[in-house]
A = this chain, B = another copy of it.
Amino acid sequence: MTRIAIVCPGKPLRRERAERVEALAAAEFPHVDLVFHPQCFEQAGHFAGDEATRRDAFVEMANDPQIDAIWFGMGGYGACRIAGEAMERLGDPALGKAYLGYSDAGTLLGALYRRKCGRQVHGPLVGDIKRDGGEDAIRRVLRYFAGHDVPLEEGLDDRPHVAFNLMTLAMLVGTDLMPDLEDHVVLVEEVAEHLYAVDRLFFHVTQHIRGAAGIRLGRISAVPENDRPFGTDAQGIARYWCEKTGISYLGRADIGHDAANALVPFGTTKSRTTQ
């Protein structure tokens, strides 16, 4: 039996979405047990409960030796408010787990990767059940957790990889939570930001990760219409800043705020194959 705990470091998970994922798992993955921490459904202003509630739910599940993996239920915003204190409270049982999610939850993946705590995986959230094709996204995650054969992001080679939402990574760089990305291939994606905002995030991030092996560009989706065209597309932006900072631009990646969002285990091939 694989026991997977679900917590929400940012915004809450809607109960009907949790139930849909639970039903899918029960029907198709008899050897997977999903444990939804009640914190997932709390609400305190913007967040799924206050700081102590969110932090303690994550720490409780990460430190529970009966739990094999932590699956982040939702992104939104809020992980950076609990990540520092949460890291200080992690014990030995947290080291053996997989941690999976993306978007705002990438803050915790980054902080865990920095501390070499567990196996961090960029991939769909529980709440992605809501998307077109969401059931397949959920199946992909459950197959991964259950140790079944499942496709990962294409082109993961011998180099260490990480994947982040661009804004999340931009807020992470230079902070106490930021992992060393020297020699890493860094995959980034963004949603609902103007191209000028994507451009300034690229300015900031490329300045901070100059030692990276390269950048791959995921989907830059739902770009709001501006009062004038930016003048270049997202790939043009990525190439521009990579060239300016001497980072290799390595082409596209199959990640984004959508159901196709690929699984990207952090680190090297070794960490990809030990599940």
Contact = CB atoms under 8 A, between A and B. Distances in A.
A15 interface: no
A116 B77 CA distance: 38
Given A77-B200, A196-B77, A200-B80, A46 B207 contact: no
Contacts of A226: 46
Contacts of A71: none
Given A228-B45, A230-B45, A175 B204 contact: yes
Interface residues of A, number: 33
Nearest to A10: B196
A242 to B, nearest CB: 14
B45 A207 contact: no
Contacts of A46: 195-196, 226, 228-231
Contacts of A200: 77, 80, 167, 171
A91 interface: no
Nearest to A174: B174
Contacts of A173: 174
Interface in A25-45: 43-45
18 contacts: A43-B228, A44-B231, A45-B228, A45-B229, A45-B230, A45-B231, A45-B232, A46-B196, A46-B229, A46-B231, A47-B231, A77-B196, A77-B197, A77-B200, A167-B200, A171-B200, A171-B201, A175-B208
